[in-house]
Amino acid sequence: MSGRHDKEKGVNVQVLLRCRPFSEDELRSNAPQVVTCNDYQREVAVSQNIAGKHIDRIFTFDKVFGPSAQQRDLYEQAVVPIVNEVLEGFNCTIFAYGQTGTGKTYTMEGECKRSKSGPNGELPPEAGVIPRAVKQIFDTLESQNAEYSVKVTFLELYNEEITDLLAPEEISRVALEEKQKKQLPLMEDGKGGVLVRGLEEEIVTSASEIFTLLERGSAKRRTAETFLNKQSSRSHSLFSITIHIKEATPEGEELIKCGKLNLVDLAGSENISRSGAREGRAREAGEINKSLLTLGRVINALVEHLGHIPYRDSKLTRLLRDSLGGRTKTCIIATVSPAVHCLEETLSTLDYAHRAKNIRNKPEVNQKMMKSTLIKDLYGEIERLKAEVYAAREKNGVYIPKERYYQEESERKAMADQIEQMGVQIETHQKHSEDWRDKYDAQVHQCFDLSTKLSATEVSWVDLLFSVVLMFEWTLMNCQKQNALAHQACVLRSDLEKALQDNASLFQKIGREDKLSSDNRSVINNFRTELSQQIVSLCNIVATSISQQNEHLQCVQDLGNYFLDRHRKSIEELKKKLSSSRAVYISHIEAVQNVVRLHKASSIAGLEEISLLASSSAQTIKDHLASEAGQVSSIFDELQNTLSTHQGEVALFAREMRQRFHVSSEQRKEVSEYMNGFLDKILEQCKSLENHAVQADAVQMKNIADFQKAYEEQSKSDAEKLVADINHLVSNHLQRQKELVDARLVDLRETATGNKAMLDGHVSSMEYVSTDAKRKWQEFSMQTENDAKDIADHSVTKHCRMESLLQQCVSTAGSAFKHWEKTLDSVNEMGNNHVSKLLSLTRNASDNIEQHDAEVGYARVTAEQDVAKNSEDVLNHIDGLSEEEQGSVSKILDAVKAHSNTLETFREDHSGETAAIDDRAKETFEQQYMDYEPTGATPSRSEPDVPSKGTIESLRAMPVENLLDEFRENNSYESFEVKELKPSLIPRSPLVQLNQQ
């Protein structure tokens, strides 16, 4: 019932508020906080200072998320139920509305890089509503094992132009002009909705794909920004998820359930005034925020129930028409900043969101489609698209001039507006006609009620008329009889009245006399009874007083006796207590003395023990110190020995060092001498080599010359021998040969000279190197010798220093030993002093204890004596006191007895007097006072009933007209309701008094 009612009335748009935490900049600049959120009470308080006054404005929303709320909190509390409804087949829309930088995109998309997602496809904590919704959809569908398809679209609306954020890359890479042409048109779908022509619908098969899509969309948005200098703060983005789920009916038919979720990240709300009107910058920006302004106006119109809702004024409102006052469930997430510099915008956002709370939607589940119908629709769509493609390819579609197209388009738009307005009018007319019909129905119902009432009235009216006629006849008859009787009665009445008057005056006189005597009698009776009552009460009072006094006296007597008894007993007890306390006191004193004695003995023993201990401890200290002294001196000796051995060892070490240095310098000297010798040898060798080379050269030269000479001689003899044979021919050959040999010999000589020069060079360089090495070695050995000398000197000085230090150590140890011996002596002396002081102290203490003991004993004796004397005095005093008390008590008892005797005589006198008064009164009233005795002859007074003249006259019958009038007055035609009847003038039975009724 209530569900139906809700359906008819609609459900309010759910409005949530989210306040982001302070940004780092705000924290750095210490920006004051003006927004406080109470998530629990769903309240947001904004602090303002208006004219120096601190004012808090409080807004209540359906849910409030403070700065500490995480993405997950918002999603689980606000969005999960919405997504569940989408899965049930509803269309739902979530808007994010607020100033730029307050977290709209953070809320909707979040910071969801694929890289940040956890294992098993878990979402990062910063993931916003979109990835979480997609994940929830897939998780639910998978868990249901349902057959489904999920499609998403992602578009951006900027400056009233729609861009597809999921369009393939090629399109986005085209030139700017191309790109502007690619703006997608918004078309009517013929079913009252709109569709974006050419919008890419991406089929998603897993939640993880969403990251790719979001990244792609965001990247495109960024490139678009750089191309067109857009600012995402001024554009709206719409992410839609459409889900188709297959269901089977019990009849085996396959149905398709469809749900759609729109997630809208609106442009920054800055510059939009609370009423939705444009302001400064926004006006300059022209169309940029047209959509946002129209959204504000649509919300205003919906909240104020205006007839015309300007949905058609912007693309955003056209796209989201169904989410605002339509069949979609809508949720608005308003985002604000907590900082003071955003105060104005924050208040504007809060006002806007608060206003939007009043929009009512009438959500309806999308009708489930039969699979076959869906397929048919899809085929239709495919056919249409094919036709479009064909027309585009073949260019055989309808082509019209641009102007005409725009003109027709504007005409179409105007017509659509008109149709919409007419629709609104029809709706209002329908509403009116429904109202009239309701009124008509109510009238018909009333008529029916009246006619039934009329027929019922007619029946009762006929019955009544019949009874009235009968009554009228009977009344007429009675009237005639009554008139005759009334006349007779009038005559009798006048006689009776006269007799009655006489009688009454007589009776009045008798009455007066009777009254007087009865008054007198009653006065006397009263007096008598009062008198006797008073006497009785007096007697009672006296008797009670006497008995009370007696009781008192008895009490006093008892009390006296009791007091005496008690007194005696207590005195005895007191005596006993005194004696016992004395005994206790004495025993206590004895105990105290014993304690003192014990204490004395123990303290003496303790003191002795202390003195013993002191002397023994002094002795032990002495022994200990002596033994320690032995040990210490042995340690010192040891130390000294060690130091001296150390000294010896150091000296030995130094000596060894010196020797080693000496040996090493000797060795070094030997080595350097050997090296010098070696180098000299090399030098000699070089020289001998040089000599050898010179000799070899000479030998070689000589050999060549010898060879030349021998050859020349040989050839001379050969020539002389052969001259004859070959004389001329051979001489040429020989000449040539000689020339050749000469050339060869010159070459040989030159080579030998070169060799020699080279050898000379080598030898000289060897000579130079070895001389240089020798010089260097000599330098080095000199330096080493100097170093060794330095080191030896240093070690000698070090050794001297160490020796002196050791000497110093030894002397310090000696002085320490002497100091130790001195300390030992002083400690011994101090110990002895302490022991002697302790002994004198113990002696003093035992003397004091002795003195205390004697004092305590003396005090005890005096105390005992005093106590005995005091208790004796007390006892005597008590005895005297009790005797005095006994005397006074016996006197009281005597007085009591005398008083009781007096009382007895008073009682007797009093009773005698009262009896005499009573007798006298009795005699006076019973015997002397006489009363009137009635004779019984006086007639008793009676009051006959005399009917009044009016009554008799009223017995006459009334004229019939009067009767009728009266009847009419009491029984009107108009109503048959029971009325209060007027007193009837219709005569009653004769002689019945009216006031008896």
105 assigned binding-site residue: yes
Residue 323 CB, shortest distance to ligand ADP, in Å, is: 20
Cα-based distances in Å from 490 to 265, 312, 655, 948: 111, 103, 189, 9
Cβ distance to ligand ADP smaller for residue 110 or 987: 110
Q: How far is the CB of 98 from ligand ADP (least distance, A)?
A: 6
Which CB, 75 or 106, lies closer to ligand ADP?
106
Instruction: Pick between residue 90 and residue 97 the one whose CB is nearest to ligand ADP.
Output: 97
Cβ neighbours of residue 228 under 8 Å, at least 6 residues apart?
158, 176
The minimum distance between CB 96 and ligand ADP, in angstroms, equals: 7
Report the DSSP beta bridge partners of residue 186. Answer: 196
Closest to ligand ADP by CB, 235 or 770 = 235
- The residue (of 65 and 148) whose beta carbon lies closer to ligand ADP is 65
857 is in an annotated binding site: no
User: Nearest distance from residue 99's CB to ligand ADP, in Å?
Assistant: 7
Q: How far apart are CB 90 and ligand ADP at their closest, in Å?
A: 27
Q: Are strands 91-98 and 329-336 parallel, antiparallel or unpaired?
A: parallel
104 among annotated binding-site residues: yes
The distance of closest approach from Cβ of residue 101 to ligand ADP in the complex, given in angstroms and rounded to an integer, is 5
One-letter identity of residue 612: L
103 vs 363, beta carbon nearer ligand ADP:
103
Query: Which SS3 state, helix, strand or coil, does residue 198 take?
Result: coil
Q: Check the annotation: does 914 bind a ligand.
A: no
Among the listed residues 477, 340, 463, 451, the one whose alpha carbon sits nearest the alpha carbon of residue 26: 340
One-letter amino acid for residue 820 of the chain: W
Q: How far is the CB of 110 from ligand ADP (least distance, A)?
A: 9
Q: Are 291 and 324 in contact (CB under 8 A)?
A: no
Q: Which is nearer to ligand ADP, 159 or 218 (CB)?
A: 218
Nearest CA to 35 out of 453, 343, 487 is that of: 343
The tokens for 953 are: 């006259």
Residue 702 C-beta-side C-alpha neighbours within 13 Å = 6
Q: Shortest distance, CB of residue 234 to ligand ADP, whole angstroms? A: 10
Distances (CA, A) of 6 to 78, 83, 158, 393, 794: 21, 21, 37, 52, 112
- In angstroms, give the least distance from the CB of 67 to ligand ADP: 7
Alpha carbon separation from 667 to 213, 657, 661, 774, 778 (Å, rounded): 90, 15, 10, 18, 15
Distances (CA, A) of 526 to 522, 541, 914: 6, 22, 19
Of 107, 128, 219, 121, which is closest to residue 169 (Cα–Cα)?
219
Pick the closer one to ligand ADP by CB: 103 or 217. 103
Residues present in the chain in total: 997
Considering the complex, state which of residue 335 and residue 611 has its C-beta at the smaller distance from ligand ADP: 335
3 state SS for 863-926: HHHHHHHHHHHHHHHHHHHHHHHHHHHHHHHHHHHHHHHHHHHHHHHHHHHHHHHHHHHHHHHH
Which long-range contacts (C-beta less than 8 Å, at least 24 apart) are formed by 670-679? 671/781, 672/777, 672/778, 672/781, 675/774, 675/777, 676/774, 676/777, 676/778, 679/770, 679/773, 679/774, 679/777
Establish whether 335 is an annotated binding residue. Answer: no
Cβ closest to ligand ADP, residue 78 vs residue 952: 78
Answer positive or negative: Cα dihedral of 582, 583, 587, 590.
Answer: positive
In whole angstroms, what is the distance from residue 379 CA to residue 533 CA? 127
Of residues 103 and 296, the one with the C-beta less far from ligand ADP: 103
Of the candidates 157, 182, 159, which has an alpha carbon nearest to the alpha carbon of residue 169?
182
**Which residue has 């080279």 as its token pair?**
758
Nearer to ligand ADP, 69 or 256 (CB): 69
Binding site annotation covers 751? no
Contacts by 615-623, CB closer than 8 A, 24 or more apart = 615/835, 615/839, 617/831, 618/831, 618/832, 618/834, 618/835, 621/827, 621/828, 621/831, 622/828, 622/831
Tally Cβ neighbours within 10 Å of residue 549: 16
Cα–Cα distance measured from residue 600 to residue 848, given in angstroms and rounded to the nearest whole number: 10
Minimum distance from CB of 176 to ligand ADP (Å)?
26
In the complex, minimum distance from the CB of residue 224 to ligand ADP, in angstroms, rounded to a whole number:
16
Residue of closest CB approach to ligand ADP: 103
**Which residues in this chain contact ligand ADP in the complex, by CB under 6 A?**
20-21, 23, 98, 100-106, 233, 268, 335
Residue 124 tokens, joined: 């990062």
Q: Is 101 annotated as a binding residue?
A: yes
* Phi, psi at 161, each rounded to 5°: -120, 140
Host H or E run for residue 64: strand 63-65
Report whether 265 contacts 109 (CB < 8 A). Answer: yes
- Closest approach of Cβ 233 to ligand ADP, in Å? 6
In the chain the first and final C-alpha atoms are separated, in Å, by 60
Q: Least distance from C-beta 401 to ligand ADP, angstroms?
A: 43
Residue 210 C-beta: closest distance to ligand ADP, Å: 18
Nearer to ligand ADP among residue 98 and residue 259 (C-beta): 98
- Which CB, 99 or 330, lies closer to ligand ADP? 99
Residues annotated within a binding site for ATP: 98-105
Which residues are annotated binding-site positions?
A: 98-105
